[in-house]
Structure 1
């Protein structure tokens, strides 16, 4: 993070804390989902990894630094690969079977969650090699607010929620 501007390190940490909160909230709302165990873990893992980056940005540093870095990087890579596979499967399903706007489909919302996780994990993974600054930092700030703004929009849009399955309607 050094060398990328006076407040950029703090802003990067704040973005990670916001994303950790989002991932934790996303895990919490899975409580009444039919496949809650799977989706809770999908969100808990990046919540913990992102919280660690927010508290200790150097955890993403190259492997030779410490054993914690090896664990963080390995878990991040493994989870990102699983999210990528899930994105491909959900994308195919949506392309083949979607009947309306993909945000009206549960798989569409799940797909967006996986994409957000994969993109954020990539930003975190690369943050040790490339200091966060300029356009990359602005992208991180934008991405860290996007889930909250989307959630607010969906919450306020009762028409969108009307087509959701019961387990989705009773959480928010």
Structure 2
């Protein structure tokens, strides 16, 4: 009886993990798409497109995180993202910015930080069954960008000072 319960619980956690990766894939695809109007669109499309692809692969096969190619691509993306996040974070700190979503650098900082945290969570997730802590954290992280995007989309006055390329993609 206890083993059946554990197997059922493990299956629910595994499915939940894959669903979170599916939603993060969708979010990163959406983030990739809205970069189309950005002056430096290519850089940011790669910045969000790579995590979208990596999440799609996890959705299809959670054990893909144990392949050398997946890990190298994820590690390279995390390394570059950490460098850019550090530079953007320092710039925001030096300028004393408190409302980071009102500045393009703040939105870029937040987006890259999200991709970095997510890819670090995914690292080695295929090694053994995912646990309750990882899945609970994944659900919280997955919900946040969708709620934040919806909040800013509904409250147009929050985006009134954004440059036009940030308002016209969706």
Structure-1-length-normalised TM-score: 0.90
Select the residue among 91, 94, 113 that pairs with 1:115. Answer: 113
Hey, what does 1:84 align to over in structure 2? 82
State the shift of 1:133 in Å. 1.9
**In 2: Cα distance, 1:23 partner to 1:158 partner:** 22
- Compute the RMSD of aligned alpha carbons: 1.6
Hey, what does 2:122 align to over in structure 1? 124
Hey, what does 2:36 align to over in structure 1? 31
Hey, what does 1:65 align to over in structure 2? none
Q: Do 1:33 and 1:168's aligned partners in 2 also have CA atoms closer than 8 Å?
A: yes
State the shift of 1:100 in Å. 4.9
Hey, what does 2:101 align to over in structure 1? 103
Select the residue among 48, 56, 71 that pairs with 2:53. Answer: 48
Q: Deviations over 1:101-129 (max 9, x none)?
A: 11111111111101110011011113134
**In 1: Cα distance, 2:164 partner to 2:128 partner:** 44
Structure 1 unpaired stretches of 5+: 62-68
Hey, what does 2:11 align to over in structure 1? 6
Q: Deviations over 1:25-67 (max 9, x none)?
A: 1000000101001000000101001100110101112xxxxxx
Q: Do 1:161 and 1:169's aligned partners in 2 also have CA atoms closer than 8 Å?
A: yes
Hey, what does 2:21 align to over in structure 1? 16
- Size of the aligned set, in residue pairs, is 164
Q: 1:140 to 1:70 in 2, by over 3 A?
A: same
**In 1: Cα distance, 2:129 partner to 2:103 partner:** 37
